Amino acid sequence: MGEVTEIKTRISALQKKLSKTELAGVIIADYIDMFYYSGTAQQGLLFVGRDNSPILVIKSNADRAREETPWTVYDWEGTAALSRFLEMTGIKEGKVGMELDVLPVKEYQRYVRVLQCEIVDASLIIKKQRMKKSEYELEKIRQSAEKHNNVLAAIPKIFKRGMKEVELAAEVEALSRKQGHQGFIPFRGFNQYMFFGHVTSGYRAAMPSSIDSPTGGKGITPVFPQSATLDKIEANTPLLVDYVGRYESYLADQTRIYCMGSLPKELMQAHEAALEIQEVVASAAKPGAVTGDLYQMALDMASKSGFEKNFMGYGRQVSFIGHGIGLELNELPIIAKGTDTVLELNMVFALEPKFVFPGQGVVGIENTFMITPQGTEKLGKYTDEIVYL
C-alpha cells in the first residue's frame, strides 16, 4: 500500500469514528498527528470534518507541505481567518475536537476565541486509532528494529577500555545516523523529551531522572538530566544501552546490558528474573489479554524473585512495564497498573522489565513486540543475555 493510500485510509477511519461521536470534526495541531493524517509535519493546522476532504492551513512551509500531502493546502492568513476553514471542511456548528493533551492553554484559548465554537479533547480518539497499526506501519517498525539490531550487535566492536560514556554514545549514535536514524525521539507529554535514548553505566544508571522511565542516568548537566556523562565506563558494573531506533519515522525500542568484567551475583540473578518476566508476559500477551493483568503478572514475578523493591525503579517506581510504540515512544497500549486495554491484532508495544540497584546500576531487558494471531512477534533479534566486553 502506498503512502497516499495509507493516509487516505487513516482519514476515512477517523471520519468513521467521528460519525459515532458528538464531534462535528477535529482540528489537528500536533505535528506527529499531522504527519500521521497528512504525510507532512509542517507547522499549521489540519481541519477534518465528518464528510469532506481535509484541508491543511500551513504557516511554514506551505510549498513543502504541498509536495508531501495529498490534501489541499492553504497559506496561513492569520488566526482571524481560520474560521472560514471550518465551513469549508463541512464543520458548520457543534463541538470540535483538538489534542488537548498537548495543546498549550494559550493556543487553546486563542482558538476558542477566534473560531467561536466549543472545543473538546479529541486526543483519545486519535491515540486509540494510532494504537492499532496497519501492515504498512508494521513493516516500517520491522525495518527500524532490523537496523537497531545491527547497532546493538556492533557495540562489542565499538567499545574500547577507558572509554567515557559519552564517547561510546557518540560512536553508537554515529553508526545509527549512518543507517538513517533521525536522532530526536518523539515523546508525547509536557516536558518529556529524549535524544536517541540512554547510554549509562554503574551507579550513574541508577540515578532517577525527570523522564517518565524506570531509568534515566545522570547526564552531562542538570538541564538534560539523563543518559551519558563525561565519566569513564568502569569494570565490573552494568553498562545500560537503552536506545530507540527511529528510521523512516517509526520506532523500535530495545535495551541491552553489557559488562566489562563480571557482575555481582545479585545483579546477575535480577537480570535472569527480568528475562523470565519478559518471557512469561510476552507469552501471555495474546489477542484478548488485558494490560492490567499483564502488569500484575510481572509484579507478582518480581516479588517472588526477591527484588520487588528494585523493580522498575528504586524509591520512585514507575507503575508500568510496557508502552505502545510507533511514531511516538509512549503510545497506547500502556501495560500498567489498573489499565483495562484489551490487546488486539497489530498492536505494538515495548516490554521493559528492569531492576534498579542504587550505587550499583541497572539490569534488565527491553524488546519491541507485535501482536499476531499466534501471540507476539519479538523484533529484538540480538541476544537478551548480558554481553561481556
Tell me which of 81-90, 254-263, 309-318, 366-375 is least confident. Answer: 81-90
> Three-class SS of residue 108?
helix
Q: Exposure pattern of 250-270 as b/e (b: 16+ CB <10 Å)? A: bbbbbbbbbbbeebeeebbbb
Confidence of residue 81 (pLDDT cuts 50, 70, 90): confident
CA distance 105 to 100: 8
For domain 3-130, the CATH class is alpha beta
Nearest CA-CA partner of 70 in 89, 58, 85, 55:
55
Q: How many CB atoms lie within 10 A of CB 17?
A: 17
Is 225's pLDDT higher than 70? yes
* Per-residue pLDDT tens over the stretch 170-179: 999 999 999 9
pLDDT at residue number 28:
98
Confidence of residue 1 (pLDDT cuts 50, 70, 90): very low
pLDDT at 34 over 80: yes
Amino acid at 309: K
Helical spans, DSSP H, in 219-359: 265-284, 291-305
pLDDT at 356: 97
DSSP strand pairing (23-28 vs 43-49): antiparallel
In this structure, which amino acid lies at residue 285?
A
Q: In 51-74, which positions are buried (b, 16+ CB within 10 angstroms) versus exposed (e)?
A: eebbbbbbeeebeebeebbebebb
173-200 pLDDT, tens digit each: 999 999 999 989 999 988 888 899 999 9
List, by residue range, all CATH 3.90.230.10 domains of the chain.
132-388
Longest CA pairwise span in the chain (Å): 68
Using one digit for the tens of pLDDT, what is the confidence trace for 95-106? 999 999 999 999
Distances (CA, A) of 102 to 10, 73, 187: 21, 24, 11
Q: What is the mean pLDDT of the chain?
A: 95
Q: Above 70 in pLDDT, residue 205?
A: yes
- Nearest CA among 200, 198, 217 for reference residue 209: 217
Using alpha carbons only, give the angle 95, 324, 279 rounded to the nearest 5 degrees. 155
Q: Where in the chain is the domain with CATH 3.40.350.10?
A: 3-130
What mean pLDDT do residues 279-288 have?
97
Strands (E), 162-235: 197-201
CB 176 within 8 Å of CB 251: no
Would you place residue 94 in the very low, low, confident or very high pLDDT band (cuts 50, 70, 90)?
Answer: confident
| pTM for this model (two decimals) | 0.95
Segment (H or E) for 221:
none
Alpha helices in 159-220 (DSSP H): 165-178, 202-205
Q: What is the pLDDT of residues 105-120, one digit of tens each?
A: 999 999 999 999 999 9
Q: Which CATH architecture has domain 132-388?
A: Alpha-Beta Complex (3.90)
- Name residue 44's amino acid: G
> pLDDT, tens digit, for every residue of 9-30?
999 999 999 999 999 999 999 9
Residue 207 confidence (pLDDT) above 50: yes
Question: What is the predicted pLDDT for the residue at 2?
Answer: 65
3-state secondary structure (DSSP) of residue 142: helix
Residues 130-156: tens digit of each pLDDT: 999 999 999 999 999 999 999 999 999
Structure confidence at residue 106 (pLDDT): 96
Looking up cell 482571524, which residue turns up? Answer: 80
Q: Grid coordinates in use for 42?
A: 509542517
Q: What whole-number percentage of the chain has pLDDT above 90?
A: 89
> How far is Cα 101 from Cα 314, in angstroms, rounded to an integer?
28
